[in-house]
Chains A and B, each alone.
Chain A
Amino acid sequence: MGSRASTLLRDEELEEIKKETGCEFGGELVETSHHFTDFEAFNVSHSQITRLYSRFTSLDKGENGTLSREDFQRIPELAINPLGDRIINAFFPEGEDQVNFRGFMRTLAHFRPIEDNEKSKDVNGPEPLNSRSNKLHFAFRLYDLDKDDKISRDELLQVLRMMVGVNISDEQLGSIADRTIQEADQDGDSAISFTEFVKVLEKVDVEQKMSIRFLH
């Protein structure tokens, strides 16, 4: 356990992860590997990274320190989730087939709740991963498969078909898609761009909807 942990999480990487995701560490990680330098008592009560790390290792059946698509698909509930495949794809960066713990954490960090004290700090630095805009970008990328920054009618139809189920005919689904685009489309190009996407969601509290508390 100790040696494997050291190959996956050298202290520089840990620092990088911490900076990138803004998550904090628990004391247990210090004990798991003698390679880690002494962390100061980040007096936290939750060892969130430890927990996610153990989840990562439990998913990693091949024990090679990275996850492949098959590892994800082994999760039973994900198989019946309409958006399962798309979510899995979101973890893997462009063209790659393996994701390490850092990449795992990076994607999950989008779902960290926004803290009040973070809202006003550090305007000059890079935008944190869990800002409202980044959360929305993440969601938008799940719709927009061909990455042309627009949700076309076909892409919408695909998502709708997955969510609505089988007892609606294609024609009816087409009507629903038409109405959706009509409601959201403002510049008349029969597709939903990112700004229009944001506009639809302005009434919805995205920060709270797209946050999971444990990543605090």
Chain B
Amino acid sequence: MAHRLGLLLPLLLGQLCSQLLGTSGNSMLHYWNLKAENGSWGSKRIQDNASVASAHTLLFSLDYQHVQTPFEITLWIMLASLAKIGFHLCNKIPTVVPESCLLIFVGLIMGGLIYSLNDKSPPVMNSDIFFLYLLPPIVLDAGYFMPSRPFFENIGTILLYAVVGTMWNAFGIGLSLYGICQVKLFNLKDVSLLHNLWFGSLIAAVDPVAVLSVFEEIHVNEKLHILVFGESLLNDAVTVVLYKLFKSFSEMPSIKSLDILAGIGKFFLVGIGGIFIGLLFGMIAAFTTRFTKTIRVIEPLFVFLYSYLSYLTAEMFHLSGIVAIIACAMSMKRYVEANISQKSHTTIKYFMKMWSSVSDTLIFIFLGVSTIGNNHEWNWPYICFTVIFCLIWRALGVLVLTFFVNKCHVNTVTRKDQFIIAYGGLRGAICFSLVFLLPEFSRKKLFIAATTVVILFTVIVQGMTIRPLVDLLDVTKRGETSPTVSEQILIRFFDHLLAGVEDISGHWGQYYWKDKLEYLNSKYLQKILLREYDQARSSIVLLYEKLERKHAIELAEAGQLVHTPSSTSLLRRHGTAKSVPSPAPQDQDIMDNIQDLLATNLYRVRRMCPRLIRQLIQLTHSVLKSYLHSLTDSRILSSILTYRGALLGVNI
């Protein structure tokens, strides 16, 4: 709709102008017809623009081509964002239908409109745009804010699901579909084994975008979330290898066993190479931020630039870009966070969230738009069996793998968790883009149709029903409480204790390696990557400071309600003498003073608080006295008394 509006408005204006200025209206109509035939994005430039120019000097002129591409992109993003606002305005819908489904519906409607107005297939999401522009922000956001402790605690399980599980799915689905193709009834004889396996490899992968958007809203417990999510991110390495492997097989005349071995070797190369590139860029980024003390403004830029570079470098070498960007984000986070200012930290956080949100929305809308059109060949048996096999093989894979996991891990995965993991295996835009990248062969449209149906089924059906299922099965949800310093101390305490016991018993378990890594970090890495005088402090200390800051600001804001803690009492602590407190000093000054005090005396907040409260209470007394004459105004009296009561009730 916005697209049509975007075209209509300038054209209407143009019509108006030409009428006003006497140029013929016909050339404008001609312009309009040519534009209408052009369904594709920003491709053909209309040459007739020159013919519109007349002998007179125009007061207004219209030059749509000049701004066409950025204009249309902005309009699409605007549409996506307005749709998002729209959903959240009606409160009832987002609780039942996840956002991703709604966005797909919007996309479907848009696609339908364009198709009906243009009578041509609407634009299909370009795979390059998806992989180079839309996917990286989402993965970066996921990697940067990944909780590293549960991730590394469960890394064995995650890797098992990601690598072995994806391969299991790919070969399972491919082979069973080949079996279906052998049935004469379905008229599918010409789909070869290689093509089936190729299709299996791209449909097997669980998609991080879809998983993120659905799981974000259902708040399952942390371990389950990290298992599904980590798997969806790391299986990219396997998908890349399998896809490229089958692609090269399809181009080779014959396949030898050497090629298969090369494929397996390639897998290790892709995964480890991706991690290596990510770590390299992460370390360089951390090192760069060491020197940015004087130019704080561009600090956030480095984070984004280096991550994007790591992604592009990995893609350049045909390694796994997603693994690279995750490794980069996770490795640089710790050091960058210690080096950059608080404001840069906030900037990075919000920019990342914004970009990933926009990308996410655009992907789902395009998915909906691309569904409509002539790109599909609807062979219903094949499609239905694809959906069925996807579900069956995923369930089997999770069952078998979990059996092995529970044997050698303390952290068991319960039956309920297994069900959610299997059910949460959503497919999304990655499969879609990959299927469009397939070379043209006779049955490509069949694959496109099958992929579309699988994606729509998983996102819509599974996405909508997973929340009631989570409630029904009573899966443990994420705890709502905020962290406390005592808990953090105890967690660190357990780390050391377990590391010690593992050392004594000679067992090289997870705590042993974590301890070794920490030692390496403190001895070498921190000295290089952190600023000289800002050596990293323990997580206990950081958490304490964060909580104290929050607490003190809450307290100061409560103080603001009373309206007049005078500047004198605070300045007295600074050692400056001031005159009689005025009844209404500016609040902003006070807030600034308090913030200053907090910044320099964070550890004294605990002891300052009682004094601050006492001073605030003294001032309420003085305010009361000075307003004695208006004590008859019961409103002022009662409001002062309630604020005073609120202050005293504030947790000190």
**Contacts from A to B (Cβ < 8 Å):** 52, 55, 58-59, 72, 75, 77-78, 80-84, 87, 91, 108, 111, 113, 139, 142-143, 159-160, 163-165, 167-168, 171-172, 175-176, 178-180, 183-184, 200-201, 203-204, 208-214
Contacts and interface: CB of A to CB of B under 8 A. Distances in A.
Given A176-B540, A180-B485, A212-B509, A81 B499 contact: yes
A83 B509 contact: no
Contacts of B509: 212-214
Contacts of A160: 489, 540
Given A78-B503, A179-B606, A203-B479, A213 B409 contact: yes
B552 to A, nearest CB: 12
A176 B541 contact: yes
A84 B500 contact: yes
B497 interface: yes
A139 B516 CA distance: 22
Contacts of A180: 485-486, 489
Contact of B507 (A75, A178, A203, A214): A214
A167 B537 contact: yes
Contacts of A77: 499-500, 503, 512, 515-516
A87 B501 contact: yes
A83 to B, nearest CB: 5
- Chain B interface size, under 10 / 10 to 19 / 20 to 34 / 35 or more: 35 or more
- Across the A-B interface, the 10 shortest Cβ-Cβ residue pairs: A87-B500, A55-B506, A77-B503, A172-B603, A83-B496, A180-B486, A164-B538, A175-B603, A211-B410, A184-B486
25 contacts: A72-B504, A75-B504, A77-B503, A78-B503, A81-B499, A84-B500, A108-B501, A159-B493, A164-B538, A164-B540, A167-B535, A175-B544, A179-B548, A183-B485, A183-B486, A204-B494, A208-B410, A211-B410, A212-B505, A212-B507, A213-B408, A213-B410, A214-B505, A214-B507, A214-B509
A33 to B, nearest CB: 22
Contact of B505 (A82, A84, A108, A171): A108
Contact of B496 (A59, A82, A203, A208): A82
B501 A212 contact: yes
A212 B606 CA distance: 39
Given A163-B538, A164-B538, A200-B486, A212 B498 contact: yes
Contacts of A139: 493-494, 497
Interface string B580-606: 000000000000000000000001101
Contacts of B499: 77, 81
Interface of B: 408-411, 479, 481, 484-487, 489-494, 496-507, 509, 512, 515-516, 519, 535, 537-538, 540-541, 544, 547-548, 603-604, 606
A120 B486 CA distance: 31
A204 B487 contact: yes
Contacts of B498: 111, 209-210, 212
B485 A176 contact: yes
Given A179-B485, A179-B548, A204-B491, 4 more contacts: A55-B505, A87-B501, A111-B498, A163-B496
B537 to A, nearest CB: 7
A113 B494 contact: no
A62 B571 CA distance: 68
Q: Which of B408, B502, B507, B519 has the most CB of A within 10 A?
A: B507
Contacts of A72: 504
A91 B500 CA distance: 12
Contacts of A172: 541, 603
Given A142-B497, A212-B509, A78 B504 contact: yes
A142 B498 CA distance: 12
A80 B504 contact: no
A203 to B, nearest CB: 6
Q: Is the interface of B mostly helix, strand, loop or mixed?
A: helix
A111 B504 CA distance: 12
Contacts of B485: 176, 179-180, 183
Contacts of A55: 505-506
Nearest to B497: A83
Contacts of A80: 519
Contacts of B516: 77
A176 B496 CA distance: 19
A160 B543 CA distance: 14
A55 B487 CA distance: 33
Contacts of B537: 164-165, 167-168
Contacts of B538: 163-165, 168
Q: Which of A72, A75, A164, A200 has the most CB of B within 10 A?
A: A164
Contacts of B492: 163
Contacts of B540: 160, 163-164, 176
A58 B505 CA distance: 11
Contact of A75 (B409, B411, B503): B503
A213 B498 CA distance: 12
Q: Which of B489, B512, B537 has the most CB of A within 10 A?
A: B489
A52 B505 contact: yes
B523 to A, nearest CB: 10
A86 to B, nearest CB: 9
B412 to A, nearest CB: 8
A145 B538 CA distance: 24
Nearest to A168: B541
Contacts of A200: 484, 486-487, 490
A55 B496 CA distance: 21
Contact of A81 (B409, B484, B503): B503
A87 to B, nearest CB: 4
Nearest to A75: B503
B494 A210 contact: yes
B544 A176 contact: yes
B651 to A, nearest CB: 10
Q: Which of B481, B494, B516, B547 has the most CB of A within 10 A?
A: B494
Contacts of B535: 167
A62 B376 CA distance: 79
A168 B487 CA distance: 20
Q: Which of B492, B504, B544, B548 has the most CB of A within 10 A?
A: B504
A59 B409 CA distance: 27
Contact of A163 (B411, B487, B493): B493
B481 A203 contact: yes
Contacts of A183: 484-486
Q: Which of B411, B503, B547, B606 has the most CB of A within 10 A?
A: B503
Given A77-B499, A81-B515, A164-B541, A201 B490 contact: yes
Nearest to B522: A165
Contacts of A167: 535, 537
A136 to B, nearest CB: 10
B501 A111 contact: yes
Nearest to A203: B479
Contact of B494 (A59, A84, A171, A209): A209
